[in-house]
Amino acid sequence: MVDRDSVSRDFAAPLRAAGNDVSVIASAAFLVYKVFISSQDNPSCVFTPSCSEYAVEAFHKHGFVAGWLKTFDRLSRCHGLVNPAHYRFDTEKMRYEDPVD
């Protein structure tokens, strides 16, 4: 089941805006994961945007190498023991906010 936030998103937008072929491939991989794999599980990401959306934004904004580093950092922080003092809680989405900076 796909969450309602991702249904309204234009998934092709990050691919059109990617600066190079490597970023397009990396972004496409995370989008495929989000649409076909992650959508079949229970919502487990504690952050908004979701980790796959975060990865696509990181590749788009920071390029391939910095995008991978930011994505790895994010994935290592995405667990049920998040320190609430470090993140603002979005009561509408019921997730902690952690945007790509």
Residue 18 pLDDT exceeds 70: no
Give the strand pairing for 47-48 and 95-97.
parallel
For residue 9, CA distances in Å to 2, 34, 43, 47, 89 come to: 11, 12, 17, 17, 22
Q: pLDDT-derived band of residue 8, with 50, 70 and 90 as boundaries?
A: very low
**Per-residue confidence (pLDDT) for residue 10, from 0 to 100:** 62
Question: How far is residue 14's CA from residue 61's CA, in Å, rounded to a whole number?
Answer: 10
pTM above 0.75, yes or no: no
